[in-house]
A and B are shown apart, each in its own frame.
Chain A
C-alpha cells in the first residue's frame, strides 16, 4: 500500500496536455481561482 503522501505525485501522472481546449478554459479563474 502506498503512503498517503505518495498518492498525489502518482495521480498527477494522469494529467495530460489538452489539444482540443486549453487549461485556461478548463480551469477558468472564476471557478478555480489562481495560484
Chain B
C-alpha cells in the first residue's frame, strides 16, 4: 500500500512505473503468504489463528507496526521513499525473505524456503533502482 502511494506521488513517470511494479510484487507477496498459511491450516487447524492479535498487541511487533502505520500517512514523497525503500524494506526483506528462507530450508520446509527465495529475488531489482535513485547513479539523473 505504501509502494502504491510512492507510485501515486512519484515525481516522474519512470519512478511511478518502478514503484507500481514494486506494489505489484508486494501484492504477490501477500497473496503467496496468505495462500501458504491457508494450506498449512488445512493440515493444522488453528495454525496462525492468533497472528492478527499478535501483530496488534505483542510488544515485539509494535515498533514495526508503528513504523508501518506512520508510513501509511507519510505523504511527502522523498520521506516515504527513503523510509520505505532505503531503510525499512532492505531490513525486513533480508530478515524475512533471506534468513527465514534459509531457516525454512534448514528445517526441511522446502516449499516455504522456495517461496521466500522467489520473493527475495523480487527484492533485488527494487533494491537496485532504489539505490540508483538514492545515489543519483541513474543515467537520467547523473547528467
Contact = CB atoms under 8 A, between A and B. Distances in A.
Given A17-B56, A19-B65, A2 B38 contact: yes
Nearest to A6: B38
Interface residues of B, number: 13
Contact of B73 (A10, A13, A26): A26
B72 A11 contact: no
Interface residues of A, number: 13
Contacts of B69: 18-21, 26
Main secondary structure of the interface of A (DSSP, over half): loop
A18 B72 CA distance: 10
B52 interface: yes
Contacts of B56: 16-17, 19
B11 to A, nearest CB: 18
Interface of A: 2, 10-11, 13-14, 16-21, 25-26
